[in-house]
Every structure is written in structure tokens, then in C-alpha cells.
């Protein structure tokens, strides 16, 4: 089997598993793992999601900046010494 056909088979299997388990996720009359939730809990969760992405972008940008600085320092050291 080629890699493409294996990937398609894995994708199809994952889709079938998700379709088979989806009805069970909503079968309990909308009560999830946290039990019944009110509007305040949903609002706070959504604000958390909204805050998560800018914080993630900021942290990853800082990490990338540090890595770029290390790369430039290493390049400079290699040119200076070699």
C-alpha cells in the first residue's frame, strides 16, 4: 500500500469513529462533563478562549525571537572564529 492510500484509510477510519461517537456526546440532554452550565460559565469560558490565543501568539513570538537571536549569535561566532 502506498502512503497516500494509508493516509486516506486512516482519515476515513477517524471520520467513521467520530461519526459513530458523536450521538453519545449529546445524548445526555445537553449535560456535559461539568453538569448543567449557566450563561456566566459559558461567557467566562469564551473569554478564556479569547485570551488564550493572543497570549499564545505573544509567547511563541518571544520564543522565536530568542531562537533567532541565538542563531544570529552562533552565525556571528562561526564567522569570527572560522
Distance CA 77, CA 2 (A): 45
What pLDDT shows up at residue 31?
Answer: 74
Give me the chain's average pLDDT, please. 90
Residue 26, pLDDT above cutoff 70: no
Q: Could you tell me the sign of the dihedral formed by the alpha carbons of 34, 37, 42, 48, in that order?
A: negative
Residue 23, pLDDT above cutoff 80: no
The domain segmentation of the chain, as residue ranges, is 1-36, 37-82
Amino acid at each position: 500500500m502506498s502512503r497516500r492510500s494509508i493516509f486516506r484509510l486512516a482519515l476515513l477510519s477517524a471520520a467513521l469513529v467520530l461519526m459513530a461517537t458523536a450521538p453519545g456526546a449529546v445524548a445526555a440532554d445537553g449535560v456535559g462533563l461539568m453538569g448543567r452550565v449557566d450563561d456566566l460559565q459559558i461567557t467566562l469560558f469564551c473569554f478564556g478562549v479569547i485570551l488564550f490565543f493572543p497570549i499564545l501568539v505573544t509567547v511563541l513570538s518571544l520564543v522565536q525571537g530568542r531562537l533567532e537571536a541565538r542563531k544570529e549569535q552562533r552565525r556571528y561566532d562561526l564567522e569570527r572564529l572560522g
